[in-house]
Amino acid sequence: MRTLYFDCFAGASGDMTLGALIGAGADARTLVEQLALLGVSGYDVSFDRVDRSGISAVRANVRTAHEHPHRHFSDIHQIIYDSRLKESVKERALSIFTRLAEAEARVHNLPVERIHFHEVGALDAIIDVVGACIGFELLGIERFVSSALHVGSGMIEMAHGRFPVPPPAVSELLRGAPIYATGIAGELVTPTGAAIISTVCDAYGPLPAMRVEATGYGAGGREYERFPNVLRVIVGEAEGMSTSEELYTIETNIDDASPQIIGHVMERAFAEGALDCYFTPVQMKKSRPGTLISLLCRPADRERMFNLLFAETTTLGARCYRVERRALRREIVRVETEYGAIDIKVARMNGRVMKGTPEYEQCRAAAQKAGVPLQVVEAAAQASFAQIGRK
């Protein structure tokens, strides 16, 4: 299973994550091109090689025009939801911001819909989160593990005043994760970094056994004498692990909800981190036609899925059972065609390519632009993929 390990000996932030992914092999040009699908303007992204205590690291530079950084969760949700990003990128990015909104809601004792973000609502934070999700996709990451997080110490100035490190939102986001502090003064783990890692990781601890394929270092803005201020990510095939993972299926039968409500549940489920959501027509008691709602999720998201069903549907109960999912290793390969560049989702087993599927949205956009049938563009992408040897 293709695994990414966050080594957080110097903490973590959004821009450090973005830089580390580029350092680990995510193509910078492709990442920037896909960021443009977010549909927002007023920013610029570049990557530089810098030295941090003798280590060559990638510094992600996200520059934005001056703006009022406060946005409500609904504003950010709308930006991502309305974008032309791949659905998998949208889902992961929305899951990260949903987790962040829930943490802020608990800290301030407010409903999620009333939460407005300060620093993490700024455009650069949105770019960091979405860019990281694109980078995960480009590297074909299937599982995430993190070390204990070095959070720093002392006090920092925030929008609400002066707070101890780690600040309240970070403490809430890292609830259940191993953290530690040393004599280093300052905030080493930012809310954006904490939200990304706590959302995607299903395990914390030492580096798992793996065949290392790439290592990337993402540089922070400050420099310290006692250690390099970098986030290290290690990418590889985990040893001693099958491609199986334990997941949960949560189900409930509904016969008294409108189609609009059921459709809304699917949208919310993916935003909350569901891996899959599907509906099955069923015949219920008293001969009523109904709908079986099925959600597939990781163990860490099980309670969130239950809460979603109870809040958004008319159900009074839901079933839950463990399932095992076996998935092929996936990665993105970009090919050139006469209709433009197209990404191919490549699936491998034991190092051998099993299949390659052109990205539908890119093929559709290229077909519309060229005025040709969709299948013509898909065939061109498949032919280009075959020419590179399906390696």
pLDDT at 206 over 70: yes
Whole-number pLDDT of residue 155:
77
240/280 Cα distance (integer angstroms): 37
> Start-end ranges of CATH 3.10.20.300 in the chain?
329-387
State mean pLDDT over 94-115.
80
Q: Is the pTM of this model over 0.75?
A: no
pLDDT of 256 over the 70 cut: yes
Instruction: Answer yes or no: is pLDDT of 10 > 50.
Output: yes
Give the number of residues written for the chain: 391
Distance CA 65, CA 161 (A): 25
| Range list for CATH 3.30.70.1380 in the chain | 244-326
Q: How many CB atoms lie within 10 A of CB 165?
A: 19
CA separation for the pair 8, 232 (Å, rounded): 7
- Written as six digits, the tokens of 145 are 């593990």
CATH superfamily of 244-326: Transcriptional regulatory protein pf0864 domain like (3.30.70.1380)
Helices (H), the chain: 14-23, 28-35, 73-81, 87-108, 123-138, 168-173, 191-200, 259-271, 302-312, 360-370, 374-387
Residue 302 scores a pLDDT above 70: yes
Fold for the domain defined by 329-387? Ubiquitin-like (UB roll) (3.10.20)
Predicted local confidence at residue 7, as pLDDT: 97
What tens digit of pLDDT does each residue of 215-244 get? Answer: 999 999 888 877 899 999 999 987 544 456
> Do 49 and 58 meet the contact criterion of CB atoms below 8 Å apart?
yes
- Residues with Cβ < 8 Å from 382, sequence gap 6 or more? 356, 358
3 state SS of 130: helix
**What's the rounded Cα separation, in Å, for the pair 39 and 79?**
8
**Which of 98-102, 123-127, 293-297, 329-333 is predicted least confidently?**
329-333
